[in-house]
Amino acid sequence: MITRDIEAFLAFARELAPDFGPPTACAAFLVAPDGFRLAEQSAQDNIYMADAGAFDAQRASMQHRDLQRAISTALPTICFAGDPATPDAVFPNNVFGTAAGRYIVGRMRHQVRQREAARDDIRGFFGGVLDYAEIDLSTQPHPCELTGALVIDRARGLGFCGLSERCDEEGARLMHEAFGLRATLLFDLAPGEYHTNVVLAVLAGRAAVVCPRGFADPVVPAAIAGLYAPHAVTCSEAEHAAFVGNCIALSHETVWMSADAGEALSPLHCRRLADAGFRVETVALDAIEAAGGSLRCCIGEIY
């Protein structure tokens, strides 16, 4: 099922058992922020990006190493070298995604990011080292920026796909098929929002973090929160702005977000995550957040 019909989606989703696959990844991959700077093309439709003067390449590199070191305590984490020709490559989950036995290459909207999809080393790792089958969406015309645009409940095989200039309906359909999902809900993001994973996270299939202002129709975030109630966090404006919605569960017990997001997270919402069985872990990423993404954007998941 792939639909905009919220009631039909909810009726189907509520009947699903959490038996689609592992709820969290078995490993992670990163791409180093080598040549970290403002990507002017990406800035055209990413309101979270700072001005060029706010980019600190040395600090970003140090924080990225801290990120790898930290999340390696939760799961095996490898890091590929960056490339000064691809300043956005620090957010690899938009370009490369995985499902059982296969890897997917996304179609990026901007040319500066399309270069990332051609990396032989990352393709070689998935295809040659892991022996995953390839599904290459990068050469077709419809933008589909993988787990930036598509938030996945891996336990139930559910997708939540926000449409914007970074993903159209056909791109959503292609991703739905590539990840082999049971059902995907389509909805429009609010004007100015570029990726779903900035305004929505599904945590190990049993909790959700929702930023209502990021959705064009307020009915959608309310419905998603209702699906995961009582373990749903509905973010305030301040939490949204601090990237609380850009968090990720890397194990059954841990939710990871940036230090600024953790600082903005209200005590009530921290308790709500604790009630769902999660401990909040944070890493300072303010330098990387200048590029318009946060912790979840940095992490490519290996299933």
What domains are there in the chain, each with its CATH number? Answer: 2-302 (3.75.10.10)
pLDDT (0 to 100) of residue 85:
87
Residues in the chain: 303
Would you say residue 42 has pLDDT above 60?
no
pLDDT digits (tens, 9 = 90+) for 265-287: 999 999 999 999 999 999 999 99
Cα distance from N-terminal residue to C-terminal residue, the chain: 22
Q: Are the CB atoms for 8 and 182 separated by under 8 Å?
A: no
Rounded distance, CA 9 to CA 151, Å? 15
Whether 43 has a pLDDT exceeding 50, the answer reads no
Which candidate, 103, 247, 95, places its Cα nearest to that of 179? 103
Task: Rounding to the nearest 10 degrees, give the CA dihedral for residues 138, 184, 71, 46.
Answer: 60
Residues 233 and 239: their CA atoms lie apart, in Å, by: 10
Would you say the C-alpha torsion 9, 14, 20, 21 has a positive or negative sign?
positive
Q: What is the pTM of this model?
A: 0.94
Average pLDDT over residues 286-302: 93
Using DSSP's 3-state secondary structure scheme, residue 146 falls into helix
List the structure tokens of 129: 């080292």
Alpha-carbon distances, residue 270 vs 136, 176, 188, 253, 274 (angstroms): 39, 32, 28, 13, 6
**pLDDT surpassing 70 at residue 39:** no
